[in-house]
Structure 1
Amino acid sequence: MKNRFSIILMACLLILSLAACGSNNAPKNENASSGSGPITLSIAMHVANVKEQEPYMYGIIQKFQEKFPDIKIDLTGAETQEHVKKMKMMSQSGNLPDIFWMLPAPAKEMNQAGLLLDLTDFLKSNPEVTAGIDSQMVSDYQDGGKQFGLPYQALVTGLWYNKALFDQYKVKVPETYEELLAAAKVFKANNVVTIAKGSKDTFSTWAFLGMLTRYGFFDKIADIESGKEKFNNPDFLKLFNKIDELRVNGAFPENVSTLSYFQAVEMFTVGKAAMLDAGVWETKKIEGSPIAKTAGFSWGPTFSDGVGNQKIAMAVAAAPLVASAKVKDDPAKYDAVQKFFAFFYSQEGAAVMAENEAPPVVKYTGTVDKEKYPVYAEVISKLNEPGWERAKAQPDLVVSEAVANQLNDSIYGVINGIYKPEQALDLIDQKVAK
């Protein structure tokens, strides 16, 4: 019996020894996560169909999984309002996704509640990410000493223009307000719309919000909200008077009140308008239009009577990509989250965004085929243009929803001739006071 037990014991020791040898000789995956097995990251986005609606994010995820095959991504999506509501509910139940897109205000609230991962250590460990993202975009998502998120994408807005129309009528592509007004007069005389706009969608005031930053918006907004200053101030009134002057000189479509934003885009892409107030999300549409070879993008006019630096580019962080604080409880998952963020903000990630003609958050060092993608090449050129300071944010994103809505409505009220400039500004002040 004793001999039989010894034989069994020796056999067990031999099996364990062989297993250990096999483990030591197994090939190592350099791209593997630090965990002992496959890791699954849950990522939730603000669109129902990520593959179709956010192809660059979908592409980045596919490339990431190729590079890190033992990190699986569980990707889900929902329409923005539904997504935000869902994230808020999941935050209350303590069951947030590992990584998710979120609007700035609720993300800040989640951070203050201790629900989001502090990315400060991530940035310190990945200095190339810090160097690649505009510092203003990084600071937008800092609160209470924490880096609660990083910009998912850049909100880039301004005035698209069709150089062919400017050349046809021998008008200079405007860099100043005086040049814009002069162009409007020439185009009006030749039955050409200067700036395509549709006021049925009052959110489409991007270029004029950019102009507002050149009249000291960010110098004044804190005092306006505290009651020390008003929207109806001499500087803002100068801008609103200029909007009215553009209206009087026929810069906008005669039927602007009945047009939608999408009809305004079509007006521009078929060559019936010299300029379009929009953002770089229209890049692909313009790229595929008859005006692709002559389309350009500008940050809008500067003003001789403006306040402060006039070279302010409206290229700001739109919304953050954040992570649940709970991922830090699992070292392997925490490692996987850091790998994903590092890949997303790398030149590899930027290349995927470039392939989909989306503006990379990081400064893209790759090349763009100007012959194949002339419009996208123009966008990248503007984003890398020296001498332009990026705005802190889009003005309507730093005020209450009620004030933002009235700001947009007031701009269109002047464009349509419904409000006098002073009245339009007074209406915004009434919303601030509530």
Structure 2
Amino acid sequence: MRVRRLRLVSGLAILLTVAALAACGNNAGPGGAAGAQTLTVWHYERPESAMGLAWTEAIKQFKESHPGVTVRFEQKTFEQIRQNAAIALNADDPPTVLEYNKGNSTAGLLADQGLLTDLTSESAKRGWDKLLTPSLQTTTRYDSAGIMGSGAVYGIPNYAEFVMVYYNKDLFAKYKVKVPATFAELQQAMDTFVKAGVTPLSVGGAEYPAQQIFYELVLSKADRTFVDKYQLYNGKVDFTGPEFRFGASTFATWVRKGYIAKNAARVKAEDMNLAFTKQRFPMVIVGSWMYGDFVRDIKDFQWGTFLFPGNTLHPGSSGNLWVVPAKAKDKSLAYDFIDITMKPRIQSLLGESGGVPVRADLPPPSAEKNKELMTRFATIEAEDGLAFYPDWPAPGYYDVLGVAIQDLINGNKTPDAVLADIAKPYDENYVRLGR
């Protein structure tokens, strides 16, 4: 019996060894070497969006050029990555490469915590830095305190973005409203809609869009010096000054006048955009990331865009960044994937799908609608008009601003009280940085 049991054990061991060798053969990396290689990609773009279409094609091209590599793609939401990135990147098996929001409070914070790979040499080696204009490179570099604009490269963007006003041409014609060219004309247009019983703006106060409207109002009284102080900590910011005071008081006035619905504090960004496509509102203020979706989804009416009237500064920047976790395995695969997203084929697909590619050496998109988008962005670039986003300066500032703007919508606090609320954490971070 003992001999028989030994034979059974020996036979089982041989079978297990053969199976293990077979598994190694099936999972060999490029060149057939034993030891599987895996590229795990996370991003939060909708599959049908310009970026989603481009990244899907990039993954396809990566698979074709890396036949021995296992590719895993995990669709996330913006909020999932925003809230859980630090935990995920600190795990023993983080994604190989992921899309992450840019700015001091996001990519800068992770860089400061040592969770991101320094891409400076790789960017120079592969020529990514040559493809990005100086304004787009601002969000790729972070100093030792996690402040953008200088230091090492921690992320690579493949598209640009900016906020603008989308409008329903049919509703403008129905109510005899002309496209506003000045801030005064914008308010006159909204007065016309309100008198007709129509709420002018579709607003998502539960997420980022309402913050960006507030920032547009702030920027209407701002200049580049103000932006550099606020975003880059190049000087002290006065939250009781004309920029923020105008933004808060005017936002509250817009709610009181009926330009913004009183229930907007509960509306999410997706529902805000859907309401515009359903013609419930004549205007929505949102980023270029929605352009391709509107081109595809809006069939029942004519629509157009205009930059926020009177502003030379607008919320916008490079697009989100591809970042590589410091603990990622097979980092060379991440670099190869990023490189593919910078190639002309993927960049052209972005432009044709309603995105804003970073490469300037591409022919203009074939569709007139998409050419209009490129024209808007060229106008902003020519004026050095990218002013980044209001929640970027300090860690946790997205939630601070979210609550503050909801207080303005709900009328829970005065504009002065709201400004005091947003000033406190900003000033505390200013002191922490030793500015």
TM-score tier after normalising by the smaller chain length: 0.7 to 0.9
- Counterpart of 2:136? 137
> 2:388 matched to 1:393?
yes
Is the 8 Å Cα contact of residues 211 and 401 (structure 2) preserved in structure 1?
Answer: no
CA–CA distance in structure 1, aligned partners of residues 267 and 109 of structure 2: 38
- Counterpart of 1:122? 122
CA–CA distance in structure 1, aligned partners of residues 405 and 82 of structure 2: 28
CA–CA distance in structure 2, aligned partners of residues 202 and 97 of structure 1: 26
Shift of 1:114: 6.0
Shift of 1:182: 1.1
Deviations 1:122-144 (A, max 9, x none): 333444x4343232232322134
CA–CA distance in structure 1, aligned partners of residues 267 and 89 of structure 2: 40
**Which of 60, 63, 76 in structure 2 is aligned with 1:62?**
60
CA–CA distance in structure 2, aligned partners of residues 184 and 243 of structure 1: 13
Shift of 1:293: 5.8
Give the % identical residues.
Answer: 19
> 2:254 matched to 1:246?
yes
Deviations 1:56-112 (A, max 9, x none): 31221112333x244635223263566578764575566554433344456445545
Residue type of the alignment partner of 1:140: T
Distance 1:142 1:121, change over 3 A: same
3-state DSSP of counterpart to 1:397: coil
Distance 1:92 1:126, change over 3 A: closer
Task: Give the TM-score normalised by the residue count of structure 2.
Answer: 0.72
Is the 8 Å Cα contact of residues 352 and 367 (structure 2) preserved in structure 1?
Answer: no
Residue type of the alignment partner of 1:62: K
**Which of 157, 167, 191 in structure 1 is aligned with 2:173?**
167
CA–CA distance in structure 2, aligned partners of residues 180 and 360 of structure 1: 30
Distance 1:282 1:352, change over 3 A: same
**Which of 273, 276, 282 in structure 1 is aligned with 2:284?**
276
Residue type of the alignment partner of 1:124: A
Is the 8 Å Cα contact of residues 352 and 366 (structure 2) preserved in structure 1?
Answer: no
Structure 2: gaps (5+ residues): 1-28, 144-150, 429-435
Distance 1:263 1:404, change over 3 A: closer
Is the 8 Å Cα contact of residues 413 and 424 (structure 1) preserved in structure 2?
Answer: yes
Is the 8 Å Cα contact of residues 393 and 426 (structure 2) preserved in structure 1?
Answer: no
Shift of 1:396: 0.9
**Which of 213, 219, 234 in structure 1 is aligned with 2:219?**
213
Shift of 1:210: 3.2
> 2:423 matched to 1:429?
yes
Shift of 1:180: 0.8
CA–CA distance in structure 2, aligned partners of residues 168 and 49 of structure 1: 33
Deviations 1:317-345 (A, max 9, x none): 35321235688x98xx74x5544333211
Of stretches 57-66 and 280-289 in structure 1, the one that deviates more from structure 2 is 280-289
**Which of 334, 345, 352 in structure 1 is aligned with 2:342?**
345
CA–CA distance in structure 2, aligned partners of residues 269 and 387 of structure 1: 31
- Counterpart of 1:8? none
Shift of 1:184: 1.3
3-state DSSP of counterpart to 1:368: coil
CA–CA distance in structure 2, aligned partners of residues 106 and 377 of structure 1: 31
Deviations 1:167-226 (A, max 9, x none): 333333123211111111212222222212243446543233233234335244379899
Structure 1 residues 20-419: aligned runs within 5 Å:
36-37=31-32, 40-47=37-44, 54-66=52-64, 68-70=65-67, 72=69, 74-77=71-74, 79-80=76-77, 88=86, 92=90, 95-104=93-102, 105=105, 107-108=107-108, 111=111, 116-127=116-127, 129-144=128-143, 145-151=151-157, 153-201=159-207, 204-216=210-222, 217-221=226-230, 229-253=237-261, 255-256=263-264, 259-290=267-298, 294-302=302-310, 310-323=311-324, 334=332, 337-354=334-351, 356-363=353-360, 365-370=362-367, 374=369, 376-385=370-379, 387-401=382-396, 403-419=397-413
Residue type of the alignment partner of 2:134: S
- Counterpart of 2:8? none
Task: Give the TM-score normalised by the residue count of structure 1.
Answer: 0.72
Residue type of the alignment partner of 2:276: F
Distance 1:363 1:233, change over 3 A: same
Residue type of the alignment partner of 2:259: A
Aligned length: 383
Larger Rg: 1
- Counterpart of 1:28? none
Shift of 1:314: 2.6
Shift of 1:268: 2.0
CA–CA distance in structure 2, aligned partners of residues 222 and 281 of structure 1: 22
Shift of 1:146: 1.9
Shift of 1:150: 0.9
3-state DSSP of counterpart to 2:382: coil
3-state DSSP of counterpart to 1:422: helix
